[in-house]
Amino acid sequence: MKPPNFPYSDLRGGLIAAAVVLPQATAFGVTVFAPYLGAASGALAGLAGAIGLLLISGGAGGTIGLISGPTGASMALLSGTAVLLATSNVPPEIIAPALFTITVLAGLFQLAIAFAGGGRLMKFIPYPVFAGLATGIGLLLIKSQIKPWLGISYSGLWTRWYWLPMVTTAIAFCAVRYAPRFIPNIPGPLIGLVGGTLFYQLILYLTHPPSVPSYWVIGALPLWSDFDLALNQFTIWSALPWSLILHAAFTLAVLCSLNTLLTAVIADTTTGQRHNAHRELLAQGFGQVAVGLFGGLAGAASVGGTTTAVQAGARRWAALTAGILLLVLLLFAGSIGQWLPTSALAGIIIASALNLMEKDIIAWARQRRTRLDAAVALLVTLVTFVQDLMIAVLVGLSIAILLFIRSQSRLPVIQRRLTALERPSVRKRPADQVEWLAHHGDRIVMYHLSGILFFAKTDQLFEEMLPDLDRRSWVI
């Protein structure tokens, strides 16, 4: 039975979720798409991604209290892919449609993972692999924000104002990290966005500068009807390097699926419910396809958004409520973007990046029993940061397979060995059969096996059974 305050708790949780997702989705969208579409269209893409995932995933209800939106993983992967596309001589004007194509294909891959039962398999990926990916993504996020943090241009009148973006970023970062200690009922990212924006606009108001570099603010969001690149993306397929596109799409699907399933487990521990991995992956896949078709930034379940919303009472309809609230905001308050500084968004992303990074890796390295975990996490982190996320995911999956084989090879194949003398039959038999079993019962051997049998384990089993196979005996 629903508790009496169920609708109100979902409304409150949805409002909190929207407040968490709004600044992060905007910041991630600007980072990925600003070089190709402009900051305003990038912000629109980020919000479109959040709205699509919240509405579809929230409507499906695969996980109670789950909040979805653009994530650091999807931002880092798509930003890196955009750079690879540019170095592959892809024209700049079709890089954004190429990223939307990757998002659509990633959604289709997620649907395939769901139908193939991949949700259960992904839960066996060791945590050090996931920790390495998350830490590497955090480092990539920080690296991506150096440009908006420093403000880029130092020419002309604004040479003496180079400190403004840096200080705005620092204020937004500190607000995200520390303000919730004093204002626990308001999400940190929202405080950072408001605090950074107020500081930036106050400085401009007090100094009355003659002009401001346009790239220091997002700008008014364009109308969604003017944003048709995604719907026209099919016309540019012939110009795309498909090996790179498919590789990026599969990697994005794996990352988003992993992130979603991990967040679903976190939501379960708070709500006391059990998520449906198959249903959730289907919802995320359909949501990803819709997001790509309508020009949004890919995403997955958000750990920060989910935990904050669930603690505020979010349950069955909170994600849907958050999606509707963001849609209303996008339709009727798009002009607010002209007041939002990109440096404030940089502070939010840097704070999110630090939250992603696994702080225990160094502690793992200090203890003998967890040094292998630390080595795995550091290797995946290094590959993520030095190479790219696509290679890191392949390395991570390969390590997961090797660790699984290693753990299985250490387990005994034969759990117990008994003979008919040690475990006589309880069936009533004729006297001659009872006498025969008493004299030859040691030739009847029963093996109780455990674990998974693959090639190496089968060979190990054969060697352990060889003494019984070399003599006249019956093996059960």
**Angstrom distance (rounded) from CA 199 to CA 163:** 13
Burial of 108 (0-12, 13-18, 19+ CB in 10 A): middle
pLDDT: which is higher, 119 or 456:
119
Q: Identify the pLDDT of residue 10.
A: 77
pLDDT: which is higher, 212 or 18:
18
Cβ partners under 8 Å of residue 70, min gap 6: 24, 25, 28, 29, 46, 49, 50, 297, 298, 299
For 470, phi then psi, to 5°, come to: -75, -15
**Whether residue 412 has pLDDT greater than 70:** no
The most confident of 43-52, 137-146, 161-170, 357-366, by mean pLDDT: 43-52
Mean pLDDT of 30-40: 87
**Angstrom distance (rounded) from CA 186 to CA 19:** 8
First to last CA, the chain: 52
Q: Identify the pLDDT of residue 385.
A: 86
Range in 9-18, 92-101, 120-129, 252-261 the model is least confident about: 120-129
Q: Yes or no: say if 405 and 434 are a contact pair by the CB < 8 Å rule.
A: no
Q: Identify the pLDDT of residue 1.
A: 40
Q: What is the DSSP letter of 217?
A: B
Q: Identify the pLDDT of residue 3.
A: 44
**Whether residue 231 has pLDDT greater than 70:** no
Q: Identify the pLDDT of residue 170.
A: 92
Q: Identify the pLDDT of residue 5.
A: 46
Mean pLDDT of 408-421: 70
Q: 41 falls in which pLDDT band (50, 70, 90)?
A: confident
For 157, the token pair is 């009148």
Burial of 203 (0-12, 13-18, 19+ CB in 10 A): middle
**Whether residue 243 has pLDDT greater than 70:** yes
Q: Burial code of 261-274, b = ≥16 C-beta within 10 A, e = fewer?
A: bbbbebbbeebeee
**Angstrom distance (rounded) from CA 403 to CA 371:** 14
Count of C-beta atoms within a 10 Å radius of residue 196: 31
The most confident of 110-124, 170-184, 420-434, by mean pLDDT: 170-184
Burial of 4 (0-12, 13-18, 19+ CB in 10 A): exposed
**Whether residue 287 has pLDDT greater than 90:** yes
Q: In this structure, are strands 68-69 and 474-475 parallel, antiparallel, or unpaired? A: unpaired
Mean pLDDT of 73-100: 89
Alpha helices in 94-162 (DSSP H): 95-115, 118-122, 127-144, 146-150
Range in 1-5, 37-41, 63-67, 351-355 the model is least confident about: 1-5
Q: What is the CA radius of gyration of the chain?
A: 28
